[in-house]
Amino acid sequence: MSFGSELNIIMNADPSISSMADGGIFYENLPDNFDLTKTWIGYSFRKTLQTDCINNRNIYTTYSISVKIISNDTEELETLSDLMVDYLNSASGTGISEIWFLSDTHSMDLEKGIYMNSLEFQSNYIN
């Protein structure tokens, strides 16, 4: 299984997060003209580091994970952001050995009436 497949399973596994994200949880892109009255989660990842050992190459790979939460309600945005950080900090998979929180960045679009929080995580994936 790949890092992306494992991360997709993790991102969609928690029922409380899924129920709060009533618009859905999407990899890379949200749907065109997404409904601004719903709460959405979009996520992506990229490789940042490969770790080698003396006789073995690519023992594990470090990934950067970006999660963007979009909501029209600031309280819901904060609640879901905290829930996502708590959940991902304790998540692991077959190859994903750990995920840890790095930072967040809040923004808003007053014309559309939406608020966003971009969460940054890192993860080690054992190859």
Along the 127 residues of the chain, how does pLDDT read in single tens digits? 899 999 999 999 999 999 999 999 999 999 999 999 999 999 999 999 887 777 777 778 999 999 999 999 999 999 999 999 999 998 988 999 999 999 999 999 999 999 999 999 999 998 8
The residue type of 106 is: H
Give me the domain span that covers residue 16: 3-126
Query: CB within 8 A of 79, min separation 6: which ones?
Result: 20
What's the CA gap between 126 and 116, in Å, rounded? 32
The domain that contains 60 carries what CATH number?
3.30.2000.10
Give the CB-side neighbour count of residue 19, counting CA atoms within 13 A: 3
Which pTM does this prediction carry? 0.92
Beta strands in the chain (DSSP E): 24-27, 40-51, 60-71, 96-109, 114-126
Domain count, the chain: 1
